[in-house]
Amino acid sequence: MSVNYNVLGLIFASMHDSYVSELTKRRTMGSIPFGGRYRLIDFPLSNFVHSGVSEVGVITKSNYGSLLDHLGSGRDWDLSRKKGGLHLLPPYSQTGGIYNGRLDALNNIWGYVEHSNAKYVIMASCDVVTTLNFNPVLKQHMDTEADITLVYSKGLYNCEKDNCTTVLEFDDENRLKDVLVDPQITGECNIWLEMCIVTKDFLKKIVSDAASRNQYSFTREILQRKKDEFKIMGYKHEGFFTRIDSIQEYYAANRLLLDPAKKDALFPKNMPVLTKIGDNGPVKYGLESNIKDSLIADGCVIEGTVINSILFRGVKVGKDSVVKDCVLLQGTKVGENCSIASVITDKNVEISNEKVLTGSETYPLYIGKGGKI
């Protein structure tokens, strides 16, 4: 894999934490578990690595202890390097307190960006789950001589349930024409995937200008207000994507992986999603276990029935228990003779024997981290 030292990757690990507050009470958006063995930050990190980006900064905000534990030195993403590598950046604003938006965060960590020899900066967030090679995006950015290139995709938008969605409109030359934040419309739209490319010099200009004006929002202050002044182009991503903007969408996004076509689209063989190695043993299935249409991670012990569910590492399901349409995070223990359906358990939840827990497809029941039922 070739390395592109001309590009710096920046990941905002905590954007939109408030929309999944159940899951971010003790962690950032980036460290939310996903798909049985991954964290949300694994997707932008892997996209950078497979695109040859060897210098990545992760901008934190709050509750970032689990994120630090997951990332470590960056070795699992081949980012433990003497030159470049993975850097965890502080959450505090130069004006005091935690930063207020992308522009404030960039101003706060600008010393790190300035120190990089990269000419281009790629920015991404963790609430969009997709697989993308940034090299074609970078090529288009250079060919069009754009100030900013936004990565977007066609997708269904519903104003009644989708949160913090930025809808884009382009002219015939694919230049940005309009920016709508949480518009009161429903249907297929151009949805911004919270990714963009910009030159470091141009980014310095807009960050410095925003700091002098006490402006914080990249979307409102730059994309909306400066769309006619700057040359902002769009790059259409054709691959599969999903957004995590509520506990319901988190539940639905995980269960999308039970569809083989969607799972293969999100985890292509030529761009594997990298994550921290767990070193767990294989799954143990009891003699009376029954598994149907489920995704079971390593280290699980299954003695009951599991149907249409996602089980993360180290989950245990007792004898004569039925787990259906559930997402059970790492270390969850389900006792014997239980019946749970449409339930999300956070890490290390314990459900004692003979319990019945039932949520619904649209409103799954959520049990917080370390909870005991």
Q: Say yes or no: 143 and 290 in one domain.
A: no
Q: Say yes or no: 319 and 197 in one domain.
A: no
pLDDT of residue 46: 97
Q: Say yes or no: 310 and 349 in one domain.
A: yes
| Residue 53, both tokens | 């980006």
Q: Say yes or no: 221 and 344 in one domain.
A: no
Out of 211, 235, 266, pick the residue that ends a domain: 266
Out of 234, 266, 298, pick the residue that ends a domain: 266
pLDDT digits (tens, 9 = 90+) for 60-82: 887 888 899 999 989 999 898 88
Domain membership of residue 275 (yes or no) is: no
Q: Say yes or no: 260 and 130 in one domain.
A: yes
Q: Say yes or no: 245 and 216 in one domain.
A: yes
Domain membership of residue 113 (yes or no) is: yes
Q: Say yes or no: 352 and 208 in one domain.
A: no
The whole domain housing 140 covers 7-266
pLDDT of residue 360: 93
Domain membership of residue 279 (yes or no) is: no
Q: Say yes or no: 289 and 315 in one domain.
A: yes
- CATH number of the domain to which 289 belongs: 2.160.10.10
Domain membership of residue 295 (yes or no) is: yes
Query: How far is 204 from 202, CA to CA, in rounded Å?
Result: 5
Q: Say yes or no: 257 and 344 in one domain.
A: no
The angle at the Cα of 156, spanning 20 to 173, to the nearest 5 degrees, equals 115
Instruction: Sort residue 229 into left (φ over 0), alpha (ψ -120 to 50) or beta.
Output: alpha
> Residue by residue, what is the 3-state secondary structure of 202-266?
HHHHHHHHHHHCCCCCHHHHHHHCCCCCCCEEEEECCCCEEECCCHHHHHHHHHHHHCHHHHHHH
Q: Say yes or no: 88 and 196 in one domain.
A: yes
Contacts of 171 (CB under 8 A, 6+ apart): 177
pLDDT of residue 314: 94
Q: Say yes or no: 260 and 321 in one domain.
A: no
> How many domains are there within the chain?
2
Distance from the first to the final alpha carbon of the chain: 48
- CATH number of the domain to which 165 belongs: 3.90.550.10
Query: 167-204 in b/e burial notation, b at 16+ Cβ within 10 A?
Result: bbebeeebebeebbeeeeeeeebbbbbbbbbbbbeebb
Q: Which amino acid is at 47?
A: N
Within 13 Å, how many C-alpha atoms sit on residue 340's CB side?
30
Contacts of 69 (CB under 8 A, 6+ apart): none
Q: Say yes or no: 262 and 301 in one domain.
A: no
**Dihedral of alpha carbons 228, 229, 231, 232, sign:** negative
Residue 317: C-alpha distances to residues 239, 307, 355 (Å): 35, 12, 12
pLDDT of residue 358: 96
**253, 244 contact by CB (below 8 A):** yes
pLDDT of residue 205: 95
Domain membership of residue 278 (yes or no) is: no
**280, 295 contact by CB (below 8 A):** no
Collapsed DSSP state (helix, strand, coil) of residue 292: strand
Q: Which amino acid is at 306?
A: V
| Residue 373, both tokens | 């039922």
Domain membership of residue 104 (yes or no) is: yes
Work out whether strand 128-130 and strand 241-243 pair parallel, antiparallel, or are unpaired: antiparallel
Work out whether strand 166-170 and strand 186-199 pair parallel, antiparallel, or are unpaired: antiparallel
Query: How far is 134 from 114, CA to CA, in rounded Å?
Result: 22
Out of 266, 297, 323, pick the residue that ends a domain: 266
pLDDT averages per 10-residue partition of the chain, 373 residues: 83 88 91 94 96 94 86 91 87 66 90 94 95 96 96 88 86 93 87 96 94 90 93 96 93 95 93 89 94 95 97 96 97 97 96 96 93 94
